[in-house]
Amino acid sequence: MSYHHSQMMFSQPMPRQSMAEADAYTGKSAETRHLKPGEISTGTTIMAVQFDGGVILCADSRVSTGAYVANRASDKIAQLHDHIWCCRSGSAADTQALTDYVRHYLAQLAVETGRPPEVKVAAHLMRRLCYENKDNLMAGVIVGGWDPVSGGSVYSIPLGGACIPLPFAIGGSGSTFIYGLVDAEFRENMTKDEALALVKKAVSHAMARDGSSGGIIRTLVATEEGNEKDYVSGNQLPYGPAGW
């Protein structure tokens, strides 16, 4: 059975196109490229926060095709390895493909080294794929998890394929509405419950204002002990008009 990676591969670094050609129809820059007609988007709010002992990942659950909500209870928090997870935003297809690749590479790495991979390695693999295929992808990803070397870590990987380690990260279309809120309320070394309250509040606010975000809030707490998956149902959101 032969099986080929075809277009999406790690490639050697290549000289980039000049700026004049970058906006040409086929090679639009990441920021101005839009979803293809009919393509499914995780127009989204995603968030990840470091706390004392691990990391919390949080996301809304709305997946839309234009104005139609294709899935109102999707899971945008994907597992890459035992204690490494990522939040997906942008094109659902692109982020699913990326997640599958990184999960495969991490599994191979773990079996060969006999150790759990570090979160920064997972983030680097994700970012390599996002950068080297930036012309063909629309994916904003937040990688977060726990490893024995660095503890809890969060890496933000926005559209062009940069990889930024941060104490907390927000992403997706709904994140624009909550920058101020999160900047004001985030503190380092929160307890797990404080961090959970923060992510739920922030994502709630984003869901209230962003049409592409909604549904339920899913949370994932990753620590040395393990993973806790949970959700807040739509009628119990910390913030939002009553009756949703």
Q: Which of 13, 15, 114, 241 binds another protein (CB under 8 A)?
A: 114
- Choose one: 16-24, 96-104, 149-157, 159-167; the region binding another protein (CB under 8 A): 96-104
Q: Is 148 in the site for another protein (CB under 8 A)?
A: no
Q: Residue 72 Cβ, how far from another protein at the closest point, in Å?
A: 24
Q: Is 162 in the site for another protein (CB under 8 A)?
A: no
Print the SS3 string covering the chain.
CCCCCCCCCCCCCCCCCCHHHHCCCCCCCCCCCCCCCCCCEECCCEEEEEECCEEEEEECCCEEECCEEEECCCCCEEEEECCEEEEEEEEHHHHHHHHHHHHHHHHHHHHHHCCCCCHHHHHHHHHHHHHHCHHHCCEEEEEEEEECCCEEEEEEECCCCCCEEECEEEECHHHHHHHHHHHHHCCCCCCHHHHHHHHHHHHHHHHHHCCCCCCCEEEEEEECCCEEEEEECHHHCCCCCCCC
Would residue 95 show up in a list of annotated catalytic residues for this protein? no
Q: Which of 14, 19, 111, 184 binds another protein (CB under 8 A)?
A: 111
Q: Residue 101 Cβ, how far from another protein at the closest point, in Å?
A: 8
Active-site residue among 26, 42, 44, 45?
44
Q: Is 10 in the site for another protein (CB under 8 A)?
A: no
- Choose one: 99-107, 134-142, 184-192, 219-227; the region binding another protein (CB under 8 A): 99-107
Q: Is 100 in the site for another protein (CB under 8 A)?
A: yes
Footprint of another protein (CB under 8 A)? 3, 100-101, 103-104, 107-108, 111-112, 114
Active site residues: 44
